[in-house]
Structure 1
Amino acid sequence: MIKKIEQSVSKIKILRVCAYVRVSTDSPDQLDSFQAQKKHYQSLIQANPSWTFVGIYSDEGISGTKTDRRFGLKEMMADARSGKIDLILAKSLSRFARNTVDTLTLIRELTKLGVFVRFEKENIDTSSLESELILSIVASLAEDESRSTSQNIKWSIEKKFKNGTYLPGYLPYGYCYVDNEIKVVPKEAEIVHTIYQLSINGKGSFRIAKELNQQSIPSPRNRAWSDSTILGILKNEFYTGDLLCQKTYTDEHFRRHRNQGEKAQYLIKNHHPAIVNDTLFNQAQKRIEARRKTKNQRNKTYPFTGMLRCAKCGANLKRRIHYSGEYSSIHWTCSEHLKSKDHCTQPSIAEQKIQWAFLTMLNKLMFASEQILSPLLELKAEEVEQKAEEKINELQMYLQDIAGQLQATDELKGKGLLNEKNFQKVKAELLQEHLRKTNELETLRKTRKKTHEKQAALEDLFLLAKKKESITDFDEDIWERFIDSAEVYERTTIIFYLKCGLILKEAL
């Protein structure tokens, strides 16, 4: 006889359940959706007798790609680590995070904590996953969707750049929006003008900030003025009435970078009312540059500073003056040796020996330039023009091929010739390969840029060598022009690392 023993209600575990909701913009439609999501999950959790409602964690007007700015998500993770949560409900992976790495990192940490996540749209429950494969595939697709949306937004913004109708989301100090038009804030504009006048009169950004703080003048964010805030105002061409678009850009991993020529920029002249004229702005730039050069000269008092390394321990050599009766001499000593002889036994080197070794090396190179530099110059040029260019073209064609495969995969899925499981797997593999090759292409371009810089330095050295004139006196300008660094071995040998890529040894 079989007797059924009913489950005891008291033994049913009551789960502590919360929900995470997010919208990425502040538009009315998105905010309505935001409130609806919160209401939906609160009702859903409270209606389940096996669940205890912990709360709703939310982020409003924050992109899913920026996990570091999502304070609702951070609060939820903190409560999960404190043992306050058993289960998290979320609408979809795209609401949780649109970066595959972030998604998997969060899920793995939560799983280790014994906290699981249910994604409503994808019907994924992390408590029942035997592997991370399907999660990583769906997360990759969510990231791809975000990238596609980002590309559409970028295209729309770039179109506005080109036709001069772009309006920045954030306006600098001194400006505000009135009926969707950029207007000058008179009181703030007076302060901006004062900052420029103080700058061209010779005051540095630190002193200007100090004076404004002493006068209790409100800063852009009602905090104390700082030298970086002052410099930001002085260097911003926006105050001349012009708008320089795309000073920064976001890569395919949603990381923001300063645009140093990687992307096209658009300068829209007379875009909005000016606070300072071009003359005042240019005068301020000259003052800033003059102060920067003066500061650099103070920081780098001697030509060898920061350029000499100890071959034994790798530490920098520091300048020291040795006295012997009425006489003194300049030596360069390993910084670790100065702390303790036990740290490094490298003895100090007389500066005059380093100078003479440099002159000897340079004169040898000059008089053997036809045998050493000419062949090297031809070889370098050939490498730049052929090998790097061929590899870049090869990678670009390969990336185009992957893009074609992605499109073909979508078409096969649309025609019903590829089921959902295989579609997601193939697409995830293609996206991973595309990412790997894109990173390889970026690395190659950077290497190519460095090679071009070495090529320019080599050509410069060859021009000096063609003069065939022996250099008898140490010249700081020539040292800084051609030497990247030098490594000292005991008191016998020094190795010079030239900016053109040559590595040359000389006796001390």
Structure 2
Amino acid sequence: MYLNGYGLNSIAKILNQEGVKSPAYYQKKLFGKNLGYNKPEIGRRYLWDNTGVKRILQNEFYIGTVVNHKTYNNKITHIRKNIPENEQYRHEKIVPAIISKDKWEHVQFIMSDKVKRNVRAGSNKPCHRYAGLIKCGCGSSFVCKTRNWRDFPERIEYVCNGYHRYGKENCSPHRINEMILDELIYKEILAVKDSAIENYNSIEADVKKVDEAKEQCWK
């Protein structure tokens, strides 16, 4: 599918629509292996995402090669680090291949070429003020999108990344206008300000009562 022009997201959506379970399902069924606590909710429902598709397309196991000693855990910091390729252990033709090496290398070339030709972000891009701060009920974060219509001013919206990346199998399409968020935040700040002033006045009144009581005692 990838060699025929389908992207990672498109492949994932087709697999989900056809009811194909993700690798996490078989890891659980065959080996009793559970997903990590930091994995997205879509994985717990055994649905495909672009990361899962990409991981398979880049895995040399499917051409019969097993690579060991790729990472190690630091015994002091307990941080996992990658090991350089020239220090890894490669075992070619150790398992039956299900695709040819030429096809696998063709896929790797297309993936690396897309990265070179398709720059998605630059260092001069603005940092949107609510990016990474809003979460959807599905567990995914909201990402910022800039909308442009003819004869209308540019509009900044935040959309559910779960729907944006995985489609309707994970969440429903919904968005929030940044101007509406600004208004809500402004109202909340005013409410906090009014509450702070009210608390301050209350404390001032209590202090005044204490001072008056002390003065009365001296008298």
TM-score, with length taken from structure 2 = 0.44
Higher RCO (Cα < 8 Å, 6 or more apart): 2
Higher helix share: 1
Q: In terms of Rg, which structure is larger?
A: 1
TM superposition score normalised by structure 1:
0.20
Greater share of strand: 1
